[in-house]
Amino acid sequence: MINAGMSCQLIHYRHEEHDKFFEVCKNFDAIIVRCNPGQIKADGGDQGKFDDGMRHDGMRAMRKLGVQVWPSPDVMEFMGAKDALCKVANLNIGLPDTMAYYTEADFAAGFKKTMAFQPRVIKQNRGSSGEGIWIIKLKGGNYCSAYGERSCTDDEMLDMMEANDNHAETHSVAEFVEFCVNGRTNKSGTWTSKGDGKYLEGGKAAGGQLVDQRFCPRIVEGELRYNMVVDALVGIIHKKPKEGGISAVSGTGSVYTFYGPEETKFKNLTDNFLKVDLEYIMPSLGLADEPVPLWWTTDFILASPEGTPAEQEKWIVGEFNCSCVGISKCLAAFCKDDKPNACYSDIAVEDLKEAQRYGDLMGCKALSILDMVQNPVSVSSITKVATDNLGLKKQPPNPKYKTALAQIYVRCQPYGGSDKSSNGHRYDSIPFANGMISVGMSCQLIHYTHQEHSAFFNVCRNFDAIIVRCNPGQIKADGGDQGKFDDGMRAMRKLGVQVWPSPDVMEFMGAKDALCKVANLSIGLPDTLAYYTEADFAAGFKKTMAFQPRVIKQNRGSAGEGIWIIKLKSGNYCSSYGERSCADDEILEMMEANDNHAETHSVAEFIEFCVNGRTSKSGTWTSKGEGKYLEGGKAAGGQLVDQRFCPRIVEGELRYNMIVDALVGIIHKKPKEGGISAVSGTGSVYTFYGPEEPKFQNLTGNFLKRDLEHIMPSLGLASEPVPLWWTTDFILSSPEGTPPEKEQWIVGEFNCSCVGISKCLAAFCKDDTPNASYADVAPEDLKEAEGYGILMGQKALSIINNARVPVDVSSIALVARDNSGLLPQPKKPKFTTALAQIYVRSQPYGGGDKSSNGHRYDSIPFANGMINAGMSCQLIHYRHEEHDKFFE
């Protein structure tokens, strides 16, 4: 684990410290359990309490908390149970006539019928090292020719051998049944077995079971043990019983031969096991949500008759074992009576090297599993910046789509930037991510570092959508290049990855000339102009300024910097637009929106400042800004917007908070008395309203029902959805006395550039709250923020569905794991078609016609044929539980 970059602490369980132990365990990402069967009980503890927890604080509880446990109690139980052989009976490594018994009646009836037909192996579920595993033949040899033709009588004699020590016994059928059910009684005869029988004791829930499997006579040639590290075969052991024996367990005189994982004589078994059956083993055992164990073995028995070519041999599972399997190369390190001080340093160098090779492979596999469990998309190639994911919900095991939330940590700034919690995440990231998770999508929190640009975008291409939460200027502040980052995100859009907001959406909506592009909507003013050159600005501004008070807005900056409300000091406006233009020496009274400070300048000085900044021609400025608003030209965002001043702005602006097309709240922002701007920090008063507020019904109706669908096309963004989380600021342009139902509110600004969730502000660090975190958000605020997140998730899911598929199929289960080979759906299909399939959940592979992803083996050519003809074709599955939804 350590060599793979993880920590691994060695801890011991003591039943007296049960509660403390599991409190500690909650803090780990994964726990490797190496407690040999029976040892917790031998120490005075309760294995069931350890596994399950009397107060939900055992290992099963750890799994529910998202802590990976190797092996979990369920994995150990279900894989180790002998009826596992029944559950894999229809795989290549199984035998279809493998049965399980849980009651005396079923066992007596079933065993008498199978025993009359063929030699059998009867296996108890409990015990180990072959105890309670019986190889049985009819002493009389009078097998029937067809299964079910007859059943054994109670007095027929059985020749039996127990696998733990290869000792032989002879008993009647009735005695054997009695011993298996009730142990040593006056009806069971005399037994030399070391075991006590009673194999069904406690019933199925307590592990009482017997498995009845066909005896494979070639077991005398030996078994194969496959040593596995997760899905990697690391070695094969051929275990040949002592002459005259059947079992090859340790201590019976058996001969062990060791082979590498590539041994050619077992290639047929290796290929069937690793390439065909392995992925179905855990689902077959009822463990679909669990990974294959970290370190485990499978014992195989040769089932084919003598003379079968090696490439056609069938090997069947005799047993799975993941219960504290030992690394034999380390045996020199354990204490015995003759070496009570044995330790790690007693392991031979060559054995230690081999054992460490296994350990290193385990670490790599464990890291991969944890990445997949905690992160449906592997992000191990980029730096983990955050110290934790406090508040983040567990990722869904089979996400509908895989999303990421991309952030930037400014390493040269306190706390990583002014919007960070103490763990390095943006203060409002968790509600966003949890919203995605709440609707069945995954959402991983990742950070961009400019040194890992290529690795970051290689990771990003594996997501279905990316939510960008990098505050303007922070990438540059961290030493990166915003343009390079934006180009990377544009490349993601070309690959079909949804980006909220995409760089183009952020640029075009955030640009002040957006107001010109929506000028002809009900939320716009037709006399809104944009300037990109000095000449156009000088001529245009002089003309508009001579007619009416104006608002001049720079494109860059934020929080009102470079937004000027301007009036002629003399008030000598002309009566009609274009009648005259201002002279250079006319004086302007100006107020900047960032802090409501006032300045007085000539027209020429204002134009000079806007174009060239502070110069000998611009006069003296008290503004915090530098001017130069046209610098770099249009391509670099150099622009000024010239908009009619609406005097009723002193009554305040309205901010509409939007989740895609849903209004979630309205804020009335009233400037401080004597001010015009209501940006934060200027003494403005904020009043909060719900989305249904009747006094703004006219604006709400016009905006949502008339204009909203036209905004993105008007901005040149017809192929992009409305942003996920955004705001629009409105200014009242109607004269005083206008009835509310006739008022016109015009757009002052769109903002989709990392808009914050104000309910989470308690989670960001400041000098007086340097350890602020998600846990500091008040419960009522958190509830509202999480509500926004859930709505975002619902809207995001709908957008991705609509972007990916012409027909929304999210109401029915997604059965297939992928659509490998399927062409992209046409954006505007001539017709919409579907290809309907069925996945038989009770059959191997989902039925005899399925590919490994769950689709029928020949579905892709059908679907691609439709797509090539200009139609869409979606691959769907019918599930009888969803009959009505499917046909809807």
Question: Are 68 and 370 contacting, i.e. CB atoms less than 8 angstroms apart?
Answer: yes
Question: Are 197 and 188 contacting, i.e. CB atoms less than 8 angstroms apart?
Answer: yes
Within the chain, how many helices (H) and strands (E) appear?
Answer: 24, 30
Using alpha carbons, select from 230, 271, 223, 227 the residue that is nearest to residue 248: 223
Residue 205 binned pLDDT confidence (cut-offs 50, 70, 90): confident
Q: HSE of 655 in the Cβ direction (CA atoms, 13 Å)?
A: 19
Q: What is the pLDDT of residue 53?
A: 44
- Which has more pLDDT, 432 or 305? 432
Sign of CA pseudo-dihedral 866, 870, 876, 882: negative
Q: What is the pLDDT of residue 56?
A: 42
Q: What is the pLDDT of residue 259?
A: 95
Residues 5-26: b if buried by 16+ CB within 10 A, e if exposed: eeeeeeeebeeeebeebbeebe
Q: What is the pLDDT of residue 676?
A: 61
Question: Is the pLDDT reported for residue 811 higher than 90?
Answer: no
Q: 542-562: per-residue pLDDT in tens?
A: 999 999 999 999 987 667 889
Q: What is the pLDDT of residue 241?
A: 84
Q: What is the pLDDT of residue 409?
A: 97
Q: ∠462-463-468 over CA atoms, to 5°?
A: 130
Question: Are 235 and 258 contacting, i.e. CB atoms less than 8 angstroms apart?
Answer: yes
Q: What is the pLDDT of residue 55?
A: 33
Q: At 160, which helix (H) or strand (E)?
A: strand 157-162
Q: ∠725-669-470 over CA atoms, to 5°?
A: 30
Q: What is the pLDDT of residue 385?
A: 94
Q: 822-873: per-residue pLDDT in tens?
A: 887 876 788 899 999 999 998 988 998 999 889 999 999 999 999 999 899 9
- Which spans in 148-244 are helix H? 173-182
Q: 577-590: per-residue pLDDT in tens?
A: 889 999 999 999 99
Q: Cα separation of 549 and 568, whole Å? A: 7
Q: What is the pLDDT of residue 778?
A: 94
Q: What is the pLDDT of residue 712?
A: 92
Amino acid at 355: A
Q: 208-260: per-residue pLDDT in tens?
A: 999 999 898 898 899 999 999 999 999 999 999 888 766 666 666 788 899 99
Question: Is the pLDDT reported for residue 160 higher than 50?
Answer: yes
Structure tokens that stand for 864 in this block? 């691609």
Residue 674 binned pLDDT confidence (cut-offs 50, 70, 90): low
pTM over 0.75: no
Question: Are 293 and 70 contacting, i.e. CB atoms less than 8 angstroms apart?
Answer: yes
Q: In the block, which residue shows the tokens 């803090």?
A: 27
High-pLDDT (> 90) share of the chain, % = 64
Average pLDDT on 566-573 reads 94
- Could you list the beta-strand ranges (E) of 50-141: 68-70, 99-101, 120-124, 133-138
| Residue 350 CB contacts under 8 Å (≥ 6 apart), including other chains | none
Q: In the block, which residue shows the tokens 């908009």?
A: 643
Three-class SS string for 373-408? Answer: HHCCCCCCCCCCCCCCCCCCCCCCCCCCCEEEEEEE
Q: What is the pLDDT of residue 595?
A: 86
- Output the average pLDDT for the chain: 90
How far lies 704's CA from each of 524, 687, 724, 750, 824, in Å? 14, 21, 15, 14, 32
Residue 679 binned pLDDT confidence (cut-offs 50, 70, 90): low
How far lies 30's CA from each of 231, 328, 373, in Å? 18, 24, 11
Q: What is the pLDDT of residue 152?
A: 96
Q: Which of 69-83, 602-616, 854-868 has the lowest mean pLDDT?
A: 69-83
Residue 54 binned pLDDT confidence (cut-offs 50, 70, 90): very low
Q: Cα separation of 667 and 720, whole Å? A: 27
Structure tokens that stand for 845 in this block? 């592979």
Q: 762-802: per-residue pLDDT in tens?
A: 999 999 999 999 999 999 999 999 999 999 999 999 888 87
Per DSSP, the three-state class of 756 is coil
Q: 684-705: per-residue pLDDT in tens?
A: 788 999 999 999 999 999 999 9
- Could you list the beta-strand ranges (E) of 30-143: 30-32, 68-70, 99-101, 120-124, 133-138
Q: What is the pLDDT of residue 140?
A: 95
